[in-house]
Amino acid sequence: MERVGFFTDTSVCIGCKACEVACKEWNHVPSDGQGFLGSSYDNSGELGADRWRHVAFIEQKLPVGVEGGAPDSFVQEAARQNLVEEGLDPHTDEDGFRWLMSSDVCKHCTEAGCLDACPTGSIFRTEFGTVVVQEDICNGCGYCVVSCPFGVLDQREEDGRVWKCTLCYDRLQGDMEPACAQACPTDSIQFGELDELRERAAERVEVLHERGRSEARLYGESPDDGVGGFGAFFLLLDEPETYRLPPDPVVPTRNAGTVWKSAAAAAATMAAGIAIGVLGGRR
C-alpha cells in the first residue's frame, strides 16, 4: 500500500472552514464551545481533541503588490472619516494588507513522537502510513500530548482519552478521500499518494516563485527533517511560527540516547553514593 497524506497549499486557502465543518460532521467530533477569541476570523483557536482541522487567519500589514486598486466609494470614504473622528486608526490601502489563511492538521509524521511515546500501543501506524489512536486501548495517560512537537493531540475532558485526526481511516478503507479534502472548494487541501503530492508541491512552489512570490516555501515535505518528513505537509507564505507551527520540529525519540544515558548515569551515581555513604562509615 502506498503511503498517503495531505498537501495543504495555503496560497489558495480562502478561509471558508469547510474542512473544519466536514471533519466534525464525518468524524462526529463534539463541539468544543464557541467563543470570541479576537483573533481575526479565527474563533476556534487551535488543533485539539475536539478540532482535527483548524483554519488560521493571519492579518499582516504588508504591501501586496496590487497596482491601481478600485477607487473608494463615498460610503467607504465616509466610514473611514468616521473612524478618524472616533480616534481610531483606519486601515488604508497604502499601508498594504495581506491575509494569510491556512488549514492545520495532524502531520502524520514519519517518526511520530506520539506513537513512540504511547505506553499502551494504542497509537499505531496504519497500512496507509498514517498515525491513528485506537480509542478502546487509549488509557488517557497523556504522554503523547507532551510528545507531539506540534501540539496536535489533546485529552477530551469527558472521557479522559486523547483524540486526533485519523486522516479519515474509515474512509480510506472504503476507498474514499478524507472528508476535509473532499469539502475543500479550492483544492487547498489535496489528498493523495505522498510521493506524488511532493512532486506536485515542488511544481507549485516553482510556479509561485516565477510569479514573484518568493516567500512561498514548503514545510514538512523533506524526509531529512527532525521527524523524517510529514505525511501531511504544507506550502506556506511566511515563517512557520507565524502559523503556530514549530520552525524546526524534532521528535523527542531522537534524543532518547541522551535521555536514557543520563538517567542511567544518575541512577548509578546515586547507588554508588548511597553505598559509599552507608558502607564507608561502617564501624
Partner 1 sequence: MVPREKPTTYYGRPIVKPPVWKPEIPFYFFFGGLAGASAVLASAATFADRPELARRAWAGAFVGVTVSPLLLIKDLGKPMRFLNMLRVFKVTSPMNVGAWLLLANGGATSLAAGLNVLNEKRRAGAPELAAAALGAPLATYTAALVTHSAIPAWSEARREMPFVFAAGATASAAGAALLTVPAEEAEPARHLGIAAAIAEEATTAVMHKRLGPLADSYEKGKAGAFGKAARALTAAGAFALAAGDEAVPLRLGKRRRRTLTVAGGALLLAGSVCKRWSVFKAGFQSAEDPTQVIHTQREGGD
Taking contact as CB under 8 A, which single stretch among the options 26-34, 91-99, 111-119, 173-181 is the one that binds partner 1? 111-119
Judged by beta carbon, residue 126 or residue 253, the one nearer partner 1 is 253
Near partner 1 in 263-282, by CB under 8 A: 263-271, 273-275, 277-279, 281-282
Among 6-14, 20-28, 209-217, 254-262, the segment contacting partner 1 (CB under 8 A): 254-262
Choose between 148 and 167: whose C-beta lies nearer to partner 1.
148
Is 62 near partner 1 (CB under 8 A)?
Answer: no
Q: How far is the CB of 219 from partner 1 (least distance, A)?
A: 13
Q: Among residues 42 and 193, whose Cβ is nearest to partner 1?
A: 42
Residue of 19, 58, 133, 237 interacting with partner 1 (CB under 8 A): 58
Dump the DSSP string for the chain. Answer: ---EEEEEEGGG-----HHHHHHHHHHTPPP-------BTTB-S-S-BTTBSEEEEEEEE-------SPPPPPHHHHHHHHHHHHTT-----GGG--EEEEEEEE----SS-HHHHH-SSS-EEE-TTS-EEE-TTT-----HHHHH-TT---EE-TTT--EE---SSHHHHHTT---HHHHH-TTS-EEEEEHHHHHHHHHHHHHHHHHTT-TT-EEES--TTSBTS--SEEEEESS-GGGGT--SS-B-GGGGHHHHHHHHHHHHHHHHHHHHHHHHTT--
Among 18, 19, 22, 56, binds partner 1 (CB under 8 A): 56
Of the pair 200, 261, the CB lying nearest partner 1 is at: 261
Residue 82 Cβ vs partner 1, minimum distance, rounded to whole Å:
27
Q: Does 43 bind partner 1 (CB under 8 A)?
A: no
Stretch that binds partner 1, among 14-22, 40-48, 167-175, 181-189 (CB under 8 A): 40-48
* Contacting range for partner 1; rule: CB under 8 A; set: 9-17, 91-99, 132-140, 193-201: 132-140
